[in-house]
Amino acid sequence: MKKVILVLLFGSISLSLFPQEKPSLSVLDFRGSGISEAEVYLFVDFVTSHIISSGQYRVIDRSQRQTILKEIEFSYEGCTDEACQLEIGRLLSARYIVIGSLGKIGGQYLMTMKLLDVETGEALRSVSEVYATMDNLVNDSKRVACLVLGKNSSQEPQETAQAPEEASENNQEQPPVNPTIPSDYPLNAAGVTGYFEFEDEEPYIGLVYMLMLTPRIGMDIELSLSLDDVDFCGVLGVLYDFGRVRAVLNIGFDTYAELVINPMIALELGRFLLIFRIGIDTYGMPTIGAGAAWMF
């Protein structure tokens, strides 16, 4: 009975602290796997700061949450399933909670994040991303926080909040946030291409390596060898990212110091890039070819 009275007391206190013109929200601790507890805590605090700066919610931060749960003698340790986390949200008198997980598999970092309605237990939004490094994950935290809130990361913080269900009524489909910029930037890709030079009737095989220098612009290096003769060709190019399509303009020289111009188009299919290329040298010899690369 004493605990029930304390729950009601602290529920009333939280309601008085957070006026209801904005819905209250708490970001609970994420589950971690293959990542240190300190890194998980820091990432959760980073996400919390992004949500606070959005101005969309009244946020119950970690220190407030721990104080309330300590006073009602609620043990937060081992509370990782959704049912338990929803119960914590109810004890905090929060309308919404954000839960998630961070993990490392092989050389990749996996992140999931959900926005839950505490009253109904419904998952209103969910975001899942894969990153090549922990730095990339941290740098992308603002974007994914905006995604789980249903707002564009380029928007300024709003003065008045709109509950997720109201937002879905006014706009059934939330606008995508920078959909053409890969979340695991900087992107690396390596692969093989084959092409044919028409006038000399020579087949070539080449190794390609692509590296994103910015979220939009990268570089391409290719070294190829003729299968009929000892004829090398090296090119260096500029890559521009249109999303799933990447355009590349390569310029280089072959063994005979002939200038080679080699435009390429790379089409993204999952973790693969399908490469289509045409080219021409100083003497007007055309080439055509194709290949594939693996993004890592």
What are the chain's domains? 2-170 (3.40.50.10070), 188-295 (2.40.160.20)
Q: Which of 79, 82, 121, 129 is nearest to 102 (CA)?
A: 129
pLDDT of residue 236: 94
pLDDT of residue 114: 93
pLDDT of residue 267: 87
**Mean per-residue pLDDT pooled into runs of 10, the chain (296 residues):** 43 44 87 89 90 88 85 74 87 92 91 92 91 90 89 45 44 40 56 87 90 82 87 90 85 85 87 88 87 88
Query: What Å distances lie between residue 261 and 47, 151, 177, 205, 251, CA to CA?
Result: 46, 43, 36, 16, 5
Q: How many other C-beta atoms can be found within 10 angstroms of the C-beta atom of residue 174?
A: 16
pLDDT of residue 152: 61
pLDDT of residue 291: 94
Q: How many other C-beta atoms can be found within 10 angstroms of the C-beta atom of residue 218?
A: 22
pLDDT of residue 215: 65
- Model pTM above 0.85: no
Q: Which of 224, 158, 145, 219 is nearest to 22 (CA)?
A: 158
From CA 221, how far away is CA 235, in angstroms rounded?
A: 6
pLDDT of residue 153: 54
pLDDT of residue 168: 44
pLDDT of residue 79: 76
